[in-house]
């Protein structure tokens, strides 16, 4: 077996030998093909230049193929070293856990004292996205149900607070439970028909749901004022004073993020969380150990939508204005990217993913139009080098923390 492999390797080496006709012909054919592709767009002169340049380049490349081989080896080396998860890097650094936590909390709490308003504003947005992404993490990361219309629940949360506040005069604290319950309920309503479907089909239905919600908001002029949006929403009041100042709102969001992470984490490491992961891993097996898969998928949808609703209400209260523009399909994709970037099912990972994907585009504002390109290629690179995301999902049992995995 190994001998055969060695032989075929030798043969391949022969094929790339400088004397074989393939060595000359292949670069020429590739260059010709690409030049022909460009012909209709750039005219014959450019196509010819392209052809000549490409064939020379490809020749050089082929001549250096031996060198390229060592390069691929290097590439694989990089792949492997990147493949070490962040946790392992952290574990190797030997910094005591509480020190890191202390530093991190200290930094997070002290941000408003030194940062510019602009940066605080970005962080507030990041906080809202952390809540959203944690919600989606429950659905996609834990239960493994691909949801491409998650923004719908965000929109429902935001609009229900906006409407309850502007039309009925309800304050933030009385409207919040209502908008959260409404979002969960719509999650439930979507899930009842959608859960008969699996995988790609489920994704398409949820995508459709997201679009339906956006279109309703856009066209139901008498209630939502259509594309003009709803303005003049009150900020939340705390102890009788409005949270108008950015730094106050920052702490306010921070408290909500902490609550979200706390509750999602507790549910994950419980009977419910284990049932979700089991459904993600194998649905038939989980029903044959006694999990009512339909019920648990419903819970996942409703629980995820719950947090999206909360994030929506917080968003509406922060912006004091909502319009359908904020709830497009791209938004769903962004939230999903946060979850995937951070690592499906990993709570700290998803926090990091959300923060990165909010802050990075802001920092890249200088390169204007290219920033989405840079972000996109960044994500592609991540998927090549580390398809499982930045973090691995946490273990489900308490015991696991004590053993070394």
Partner 1 sequence: MYLLEVRDLTKHFGGIRAIEEVRFRVREGSITSIIGPNGAGKTTLFNCLTGITQPTKGRVSFLDTEITGFRSSSIVKLGIARTFQNIRLFKEMSVLENIMVSQHCRTGAGLFASILRGNAFKKEEKIIEEKALEYLELVGLEDFAETLSWNLPYGSQKRLEIARAIATEPRLMLLDEPTAGMNPQETSEMMELIKKLQELGKTIILIEHDMKVVMGISENIVVLDHGVKIAEGTPGEIRKNPLVIEAYLGKEH
Which positions lie near partner 1, rule CB under 8 A?
Answer: 263, 266-267, 269-275, 277-278, 280-282, 284-293, 299, 303, 393, 395-400, 403-405
DSSP type of residue 400: G
Quick one: 282 or 325, whose CB is closer to partner 1? 282
Distance CA 24, CA 92 (A): 50
Quick one: 155 or 176, whose CB is closer to partner 1? 176
Instruction: For residue 143, give the 3-state DSSP assignment.
Output: coil
Measuring CA to CA, which residue among 206, 218, 209, 210 is closest to residue 325?
218
Q: State the minimum distance, in angstroms, from the CB of residue 287 to partner 1.
A: 4
Quick one: 288 or 368, whose CB is closer to partner 1? 288
Distance CA 210, CA 335 (A): 13
Cβ proximity of 109 and 285 under 8 Å: no
User: The tokens of 189 are what?
Assistant: 């309503």
Quick one: 190 or 277, whose CB is closer to partner 1? 277
Measuring CA to CA, which residue among 256, 371, 305 is closest to residue 153?
305
Residues facing residue 237 across a β-bridge: 242
Q: State the minimum distance, in angstroms, from the CB of residue 305 to partner 1.
A: 14
Question: Which residues make Cβ contacts (< 8 Å) with residue 305, sequence separation at least 6?
Answer: 135, 153, 156, 183, 184, 186, 187, 188
Query: DSSP for 113-142?
Result: HHS-HHHHHHHHHHHHHHHHHHHHIIIIII
Question: Which residues make Cβ contacts (< 8 Å) with residue 53, sequence separation at least 6?
Answer: none
Q: State the minimum distance, in angstroms, from the CB of residue 303 to partner 1.
A: 7
Q: State the minimum distance, in angstroms, from the CB of residue 295 to partner 1.
A: 8
Cβ proximity of 298 and 188 under 8 Å: yes
Q: State the minimum distance, in angstroms, from the CB of residue 393 to partner 1.
A: 7
Q: State the minimum distance, in angstroms, from the CB of residue 270 to partner 1.
A: 3
Quick one: 104 or 285, whose CB is closer to partner 1? 285
Q: State the minimum distance, in angstroms, from the CB of residue 189 to partner 1.
A: 19
Q: State the minimum distance, in angstroms, from the CB of residue 285 to partner 1.
A: 4
Question: Which residues make Cβ contacts (< 8 Å) with residue 159, sequence separation at least 6?
Answer: 217, 224, 230, 312, 316, 322
Quick one: 125 or 279, whose CB is closer to partner 1? 279
The secondary structure element, H or E, covering residue 321 is strand 321-322
Q: State the minimum distance, in angstroms, from the CB of residue 396 to partner 1.
A: 5
User: What Cα–Cα distance (Å) separates residue 234 from each residue in 91, 165, 179, 237?
Assistant: 46, 7, 15, 9
User: The tokens of 12 are what?
Assistant: 């391949």
Quick one: 57 or 255, whose CB is closer to partner 1? 255
Quick one: 145 or 334, whose CB is closer to partner 1? 145
- The pairing of strands 321-322 and 241-242 is unpaired
Quick one: 330 or 399, whose CB is closer to partner 1? 399
Q: State the minimum distance, in angstroms, from the CB of residue 298 to partner 1.
A: 11
Quick one: 235 or 273, whose CB is closer to partner 1? 273
Question: Which residues make Cβ contacts (< 8 Å) with residue 155, sequence separation at least 6?
Answer: 213, 214, 217, 312, 324, 326, 327
């Amino acid at each position: 077996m190994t001998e055969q492999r060695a032989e075929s390797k030798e043969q391949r080496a022969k094929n790339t030998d400088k004397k074989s006709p393939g060595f000359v012909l292949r670069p020429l054919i590739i260059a010709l093909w690409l030049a022909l592709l460009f012909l209709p767009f750039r005219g014959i002169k450019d196509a010819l230049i392209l052809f000549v340049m490409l064939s020379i380049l490809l020749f050089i490349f082929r001549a250096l193929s031996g060198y390229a081989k060592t390069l691929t080896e290097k590439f694989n080396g990089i792949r492997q070293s990147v493949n070490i998860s962040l946790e392992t890097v952290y574990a190797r650094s030997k910094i005591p856990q509480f020190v890191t936590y202390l530093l991190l909390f200290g930094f997070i709490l002290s941000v408003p004292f030194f940062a510019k308003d602009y940066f605080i504003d970005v962080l507030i947005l990041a906080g809202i996205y952390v809540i959203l992404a944690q919600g989606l993490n429950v659905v996609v990361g834990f239960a493994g149900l691909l949801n491409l219309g998650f923004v719908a629940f965000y929109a429902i949360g935001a609009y229900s607070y906006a409407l309850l506040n502007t039309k009925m005069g309800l304050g933030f604290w009385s409207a919040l439970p209502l908008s959260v319950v409404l979002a969960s309920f719509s999650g439930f309503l979507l899930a009842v028909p959608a859960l008969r479907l699996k995988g790609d089909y489920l994704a398409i239905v949820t995508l459709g749901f997201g679009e339906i919600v956006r279109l309703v908001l856009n066209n139901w002029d008498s209630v939502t004022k259509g594309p003009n949006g709803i303005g003049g929403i009150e900020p939340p009041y705390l102890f009788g004073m409005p949270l108008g100042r950015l730094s106050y709102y920052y702490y306010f969001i921070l408290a909500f993020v902490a609550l979200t992470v706390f509750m999602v984490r507790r549910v994950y490491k419980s009977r419910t969380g284990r049932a979700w992961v089991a459904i993600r891993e194998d649905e038939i097996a989980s029903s044959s150990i006694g999990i009512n898969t339909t019920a648990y998928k419903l819970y996942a949808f409703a629980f995820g939508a719950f947090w999206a609703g909360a994030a929506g209400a917080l968003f509406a209260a922060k912006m004091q204005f909502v319009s359908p523009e904020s709830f497009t399909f791209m938004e769903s994709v962004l939230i999903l990217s946060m979850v995937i970037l951070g690592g499906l099912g990993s709570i700290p990972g998803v926090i990091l993913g959300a923060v990165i994907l909010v802050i990075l585009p802001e920092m890249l504002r200088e390169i204007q139009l290219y920033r989405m390109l840079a972000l996109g290629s960044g994500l592609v690179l991540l998927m090549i080098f580390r398809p499982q995301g930045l973090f691995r999902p946490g273990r489900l049992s308490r015991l696991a923390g004590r053993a070394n995995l």
